[in-house]
Amino acid sequence: MHYIIGNMSVPRKAILIIVLILSAIIIFRYIDISTFQGIASLIFPEKIAPENLKENYKKNSLKVLIVPGHDKNSYGAQYRGVTEESLNAKLGGYLYDYFWSDSHFSVFTVRAPSGEYNSWFLQYLEKEKANVVSFRDKLKTAMRSLLKTGAVTKNTKVYHNPAADNTSLNLYAINKWANDNNIDLVIHIHFNDYPGRKYDLPGKHSGFAVYVPENQLPNHKTSNEIAEFIKTELETIQKASNFPKEKDTIIEDQQLIAVGSNASRDGASILMEYGYIYEDKIYDKNLREQTLANMAYKTYLGIKKYFEN
């Protein structure tokens, strides 16, 4: 079917696309555009740049937020009594200490080494819950419109289980707090698992991977550059993931809330998968603490070298 506009005959499909694009534009008029910084450069211009972060580093004011993944109610992977959330919290504690001892960084962490949420985050979540829900829902609605019009292309390399509603809310709260407080870099800490393995037996994959925002997202470039330095350092103590879909080691991701899905992060964000929970150096209690400390140090050192480079 065609419509006549002036002297032109316009296909119905073209009219529909125009209407959808205009709808997306109207939606964005009512959303803080600073939350969308680069999905497509014409729509979400990138504001974060490496030179901005390096200038903050020189001024001894670079802000880092550490997010040990999961919690005691949702502990993630588990192997023979060892839970992912406990590994994440301990590694996060080591990483926090390295940044805290360096005057170039101001460091914050969502969870303590004991695994408990820090009071500042719980207070923020309670006070800002309605605003966080609005922040999340508006971003999702806007992204759906952009995907529907083709302004943004759907790109999924590794499938992730959808986050439960409370987990989703926590992650969007972290992103909103980081944006509100001009956090330069957010580091999410995780350990992997092989989904097909028997409960008490190891799986067939091993090694680390680093997830970064997909290249249509506003915080891709700087996040990816930092990830390269972390990868280089971690490769000196462990092998990269041998999971075929993680063959590139640094994986661009469009779905993970942690790295800024739906353009929810202004600054750099990365998600570390430090290895598979059943690997000996991670599971063995005689090796575990030193392994976690080494992983934390290499992560800190990679970031430090990035800013000193």
> What is the 3-state secondary structure of 6-33?
CCEEEEHHHHHHHHHHHHHHHHHHCCCH
Query: Does the pLDDT value for residue 5 go beyond 60?
Result: no
**For the segment 267-291, what is each residue's pLDDT rounded down to a tens digit?**
999 999 999 999 999 999 999 999 9
Cβ-contact 133, 173 below 8 angstroms: no
pLDDT tens digits along 197-238: 888 899 999 999 999 999 999 999 999 999 999 999 999 999
**Torsion angle of alpha carbons 274, 231, 206, 249, nearest 10°?**
120
Q: Taken in order 239, 244, 250, 253, is the CA torsion positive or negative? A: negative
Supply the pLDDT for residue 155.
Answer: 79
pLDDT for 195:
84
Mean pLDDT, to the nearest integer, of 8-36?
49
For residue 49 the two structure tokens come to 């740049």
Q: How many H-runs (helices) and E-runs (strands) does the chain carry?
A: 8, 10
Query: Where are the chain's structural domains?
Result: 31-308
Nearest C-alpha neighbor of 292 from the set 224, 231, 237: 237
Res 4 pLDDT > 80: no
- Spell out where 32-99 has E strands: 62-68, 78-79, 82-83
HSE-up of residue 65 (Cα within 13 Å, Cβ side): 30
| pLDDT value at 3 more than 50 | no
CATH number assigned to the domain covering 31-308 = 3.40.630.40
